[in-house]
Chains A and B, each alone.
Chain A
Amino acid sequence: MVDMTVRIGALTLKNPVMPGSGTMGEGLARVMDLGRLGAIVTKTITPEPREGCPPPRMVEYKDGSLMAIGIPCKGPDHYVDEILPQYRAYPTPVVCSVSAPTVDAFGRLAAKLSVAGVAAIEANISCPNLEQDGRAFGMDAEASARVVRRLKESTDRPVWAKLTPNVTDIAAVARAVAAAGADAVTCANGMLGMAVDVENFQPALGNVTGGMTGPCTRPVILRMAWQVARAVKIPVIGSGGVACARDALEYLMVGCAAVQVGTINFVHPTAMLGVIDGIEAFCRRKGIGAVRALTGAMRPRQDFREDQAA
């Protein structure tokens, strides 16, 4: 019997697997038991309703995708009245992802969404702000810290900061949000990219730029998760290209306490169950009694040393 529970600050999760924000919805409950997940992370809520980006919204690659969805959202009241009740039937904690155009708006939104049934707030400071040339709070350590400080003042729920990979020094941003009081960091969101429809001499995406996600991004985001885990003491949640248990184990071993599974949910709707079962099977095979022992379990390689040569 493997103890699969992990702690993210004050929150205890039954296992370390949850969806990335924006990659699950009510449709998933028609395919699998959401009660098996470590947490339910809902699609980002913004203060005002949004229609999102004009189509086309997606470009496909061999092992990933470029998407510019633009956070379509029906606003916080709709979330509280219509979306949250759908998850009430499950014992699984709900993490509410929020985004806003200003620090003030972040604070007001978090306060409004700190209702029964919301266990934590994840600040989407990283989703490229598609109307401002891809710039986002998360690209600036001080701006990221300001958002987190305001959220901590506005809600009694744990605050997770979801970092953007579109920075030169992600560890610096992680340190800033940790110092500002974040209870955890999620590493990371999509990588900014673009594509051209050469037949028609035009951008392939309606929004021109989008976020690259999926398995092909994993080596890059994994490296960032490793850097972040070494930089902060708060829990790190790895999020980038996890498609199977082996991928999740990589994130845990470089120092993550939990993982988010994202784009692969669009291809294999029950992928998260495979990740949970696979992590448990790995622990059994390795004689590991508790999954949290895997966090940071990567050891230095035993390299050949010149002075040991015979």
Chain B
Amino acid sequence: MSTALSSAAAGADRADGFPLAEAVCPVIAHEWVNDAYKHLVIEAGHGAARARPGQFFHLLCPVIGENAPFFRRPMSLYRIDAARGRLEFLYKVVGRGTTTLATLVPGDALNVFGPLGRGFDFAGRARHIVQVARGVGLATLAPVAEAAARCGIRTTAILSARSRAHLMSVASLRAAGADVLTVTDEEGTSEVGAVERLVRRAIAERGGDFLVTCGSNRLLQMLQRVGRELGVAGEVALEQHMGCGNGMCFACVREFRTAQGGVAYRRVCWEGPVFDLQEAVSW
């Protein structure tokens, strides 16, 4: 990987006026939050100033022995701290890339590229967001409430996880002014029907008028059905393995419904990762 490293050195930090940049950022903090997820904080002034909820950064994971991730790994933003010039990520350690990423310690350097993709678009479209998150979605949707509050939009956050230990963003969402409802597999409260009742109540009783979701196919299908039935618009943040993250390689496509009633491929990195709730084809 010496070639990649040398070209990284040559190409890094060429921000000079371009909205996107490849930058080498110091790791500020990197802690386990439970048995599966790590919380990474980096200093990234250029990125933090421009990033919006739902966008992602493309991280160059380190090469460690036999683990040599060639492509970057897309990571949604868990928190954008523009005031301190910091970006935060919350990710599950699952594969080759996240395994080597997890070894970084404060003071190490991480090469990041971004901010990339199309973020959430709720300003002017919503008065009360109902967000439904599970798995990786807990991280991706975490910055929505804070950004929504700045536009005078309220948030009801319904968080679903395996156990209470895996409900990670409760405190930060409450701090951002969101009403937080939690369901878990452990307590038997997370089945789709139960979540659907919470969603319908949030719409009927709290004035929920915009749905956002990420992280669960079954919850996406439920929200598409509820949204269609009640005429409530919404957005979904999707994941896909990516090559370039910048619309060039066309590796990260998924299927979407078209206005003509057909199905077409779109790039998750470029047309997304946030898409119209009803256009996403569930998987």
A31 touches B20 (CB 8 A): yes
Q: Is B11 an interface residue (CB 8 A)?
A: yes
Q: Which of A23, A65, A268 has the most CB of B within 10 A?
A: A268
Given contacts A56-B241, A214-B70, contact A27 B270 (CB under 8 A): yes
A interface footprint on B222-258 (CB within 8 Å = 1, 0 otherwise): 0000000000000000001101101111111110000
A31 touches B22 (CB 8 A): yes
Q: Which residues of A contact B247 (CB under 8 A)?
A: 25-27
Q: Which residues of A contact B69 (CB under 8 A)?
A: 60
A62 touches B68 (CB 8 A): yes
Given contacts A52-B253, A58-B241, A72-B265, contact A266 B7 (CB under 8 A): no
A270 touches B248 (CB 8 A): no
B interface footprint on A209-249 (CB within 8 Å = 1, 0 otherwise): 00000110000000000000000000000000001101100
Q: Is A291 an interface residue (CB 8 A)?
A: no
Q: Is A153 an interface residue (CB 8 A)?
A: no
**Chain A: interface residue total (CB-CB under 8 A):** 44
Q: Which of A22, A26, A243, A274 contacts B249 (CB 8 A)?
A: A22
CB nearest to B19 among chain A residues: A30
B interface footprint on A28-50 (CB within 8 Å = 1, 0 otherwise): 10111000000000000000000
Q: Is chain B's interface secondary structure helix, strand, loop, or mixed overall?
A: loop
CB nearest to B268 among chain A residues: A55
CA distance A271 to B72 in the complex (A): 14
CA distance A266 to B20 in the complex (A): 14
A interface footprint on B89-125 (CB within 8 Å = 1, 0 otherwise): 0000000000000000000000001000000000000
CA distance A60 to B72 in the complex (A): 10
Interface residues of A in 269-288 (CB under 8 A from B): 269-271, 273-275, 277-278
Q: Which of B19, B20, B254 contacts A55 (CB 8 A)?
A: B254
Given contacts A31-B22, A61-B70, contact A268 B265 (CB under 8 A): no
Q: Is B36 an interface residue (CB 8 A)?
A: no
Q: Is B139 an interface residue (CB 8 A)?
A: no
CA distance A9 to B71 in the complex (A): 35
Interface residues of B in 250-283 (CB under 8 A from A): 250-254, 264-265, 270
A270 touches B244 (CB 8 A): no
CA distance A290 to B8 in the complex (A): 26
B1 touches A63 (CB 8 A): yes
A interface footprint on B1-27 (CB within 8 Å = 1, 0 otherwise): 101101111111010001111100000
B interface footprint on A57-86 (CB within 8 Å = 1, 0 otherwise): 110111111010100100000000000000
* B77 CB → nearest A CB, Å: 18
Q: Is B60 an interface residue (CB 8 A)?
A: yes
Q: Which residues of B contact A214 (CB under 8 A)?
A: 70
B22 touches A269 (CB 8 A): yes
Q: Is A24 an interface residue (CB 8 A)?
A: yes
Q: Which of A28, A60, A67, A267 has the most CB of B within 10 A?
A: A267
Q: Is A51 an interface residue (CB 8 A)?
A: yes
CA distance A270 to B22 in the complex (A): 8
* B6 CB → nearest A CB, Å: 5
Q: Which of A28, A56, A72, A266 has the most CB of B within 10 A?
A: A266
A243 touches B250 (CB 8 A): no
Q: Which residues of B contact A28 (CB under 8 A)?
A: 246, 248
Given contacts A30-B18, A61-B70, A63-B68, contact A268 B7 (CB under 8 A): yes
B250 touches A267 (CB 8 A): no
B251 touches A58 (CB 8 A): yes
CA distance A30 to B114 in the complex (A): 10
Q: Which residues of A contact B243 (CB under 8 A)?
A: 58, 65, 67, 266
Known: A268-B22, A274-B10. 7 other contacts (CB 8 A): A31-B22, A32-B14, A32-B18, A55-B253, A58-B241, A244-B7, A267-B244
Binding site for A on B (CB under 8 A): 1, 3-4, 6-12, 14, 18-22, 60, 68-72, 113, 240-241, 243-244, 246-254, 264-265, 270
Q: List 13 A-B contacts (CB under 8 A).
A: A25-B247, A55-B240, A57-B252, A58-B71, A58-B249, A69-B250, A72-B253, A214-B70, A244-B7, A264-B3, A266-B71, A267-B4, A270-B10
Binding site for B on A (CB under 8 A): 22-28, 30-32, 51-52, 55-58, 60-65, 67, 69, 72, 214-215, 243-244, 246-247, 264-271, 273-275, 277-278
